[in-house]
Amino acid sequence: MRESMKKLRNLCASPSCDNLRWLGSIEDTKWLVYVRQLLKSGLHIAQLLRSGESVLLHCSHGWDRTSQIASLAQIFIDPFFRTWKGFQVLIEKEWLSFGHPFHIRHSHGEKADTQESPIFIQFLDCVSQLVRIYPSYFEFNEGLLLMLADALHSCRFGTFLFDCKKHRQEANLGNRTTSVWTWVNGFRPQLTEQTYAPKQVLNPPLTGLLKRVVLWDAMFMRWSGQQLVQEPPISTNFFSDNSQRTPTWQLPQGTLNALNTALTVKYREAQLIQELEERITALEEKVKGRRGSRH
């Protein structure tokens, strides 16, 4: 799984693309295969439950595939978990309370962890597929998923720190840090799906669902060399647009200045990287030309 994510990230972050087999290269990373497998398993569990069957779900440790598939099954079967509040409850229950090791799986320590694996990002990707295909079934849009993905890696909030609830309580994170939900709830108007229709039954045909799984470009392509210079990532707009928030959630000017400075530096660095890569490519072409002239 880790290698699949690495290949996908490198492919999407490439500053230029002359690969006429782009979609084939994406498939070769196996990332979309894993996404389809998870959606298939989640839908299968939901259909068993609808038919009155009891289901025992467990993976090797009970905190990776179990969390992913159990969460997806509940999203399919219960409209509550497709609401703004319900989705937060689902993550708190299946991921945080049941002990998904965010610290280990997402390498939050000083050193890279050999057990790192993008389990939660993969779950968000699965949900993004459903949000894209069936938008009116969800009260929220993909902006919420992007903000959660960013919050997971930034470690700015206590929600995704440590490996279990016990460790978070021992560190007194409830009093020492801010919850990610406090942050995202301030953007509810922007993150709400306007076509949402409550209490719909989400039971799609499996073949049709799997055929419509595609690369989550809002997540992975925003770091593409060219796109990064042209426009900010989607979720960054929420950080910088303070005026759209309700007064209760507006940020102090000092915080905004710090965010804007960080973003400016980020884009300048991206632009510099792109310029250097173009110069390297030009130099490589010159070297090839000189070698060819010698022959």
Confidence of residue 17 (pLDDT cuts 50, 70, 90): low
Question: Any known ligand binding at 64?
Answer: yes
- pLDDT given for residue 293 in this prediction: 66
Please tell me the total count of domains within the chain.
1
Question: How far does CA 7 lie from the centroid of its chain?
Answer: 16
Active site residues: 59
Question: Any known ligand binding at 60?
Answer: yes
Q: Is residue 57 part of a domain?
A: yes
Q: Is residue 227 part of a domain?
A: no
Q: Is residue 75 part of a domain?
A: yes
Residue with tokens 């959630």: 249
CA distance 130 to 200: 13
- pLDDT given for residue 243 in this prediction: 61
Q: Is residue 144 part of a domain?
A: yes
Q: Is residue 247 part of a domain?
A: no
Find the range with the poorest average confidence among 24-38, 200-214, 273-287.
273-287
Residue 66 burial (C-beta neighbours within 10 Å; 0-12, 13-18, 19+): middle
Hey, which of 15-24, 68-77, 285-294 has the most confident mean pLDDT? 68-77
- pLDDT given for residue 102 in this prediction: 76
Question: Any known ligand binding at 59?
Answer: yes
Select the more confidently predicted residue: 132 or 228: 132
Is residue 292 over pLDDT 80? no
Tell me the pLDDT tens digit for each residue of 220-231: 887 665 544 444
- pLDDT given for residue 236 in this prediction: 45
Question: Any known ligand binding at 65?
Answer: yes
Is residue 258 over pLDDT 90? no
Q: Is residue 294 part of a domain?
A: no
One DSSP character per residue, 130-182 reads HHHHSGGG-SB-HHHHHHHHHHHHH--SSTT-SSSHHHHHHTTHHHHS--HHH
CA distance 270 to 250: 29
- pLDDT given for residue 240 in this prediction: 46
Q: How many CB atoms lie within 10 A of CB 244?
A: 13
Select the more confidently predicted residue: 215 or 57: 215
- Joined together, the tokens standing for residue 101 give 């090791």
Please give the model's pTM, rounded to 2 decimal places.
Answer: 0.74
Is residue 29 over pLDDT 70? yes
Q: Is residue 93 part of a domain?
A: yes
Owning domain of residue 110: 2-216
CA distance 295 to 289: 10
Is residue 190 over pLDDT 80? yes
Q: Is residue 270 part of a domain?
A: no
Question: Any known ligand binding at 62?
Answer: yes
Sign of the Cα torsion 102, 108, 114, 119 reads: positive
Question: How far does CA 11 lie from the centroid of its chain?
Answer: 17
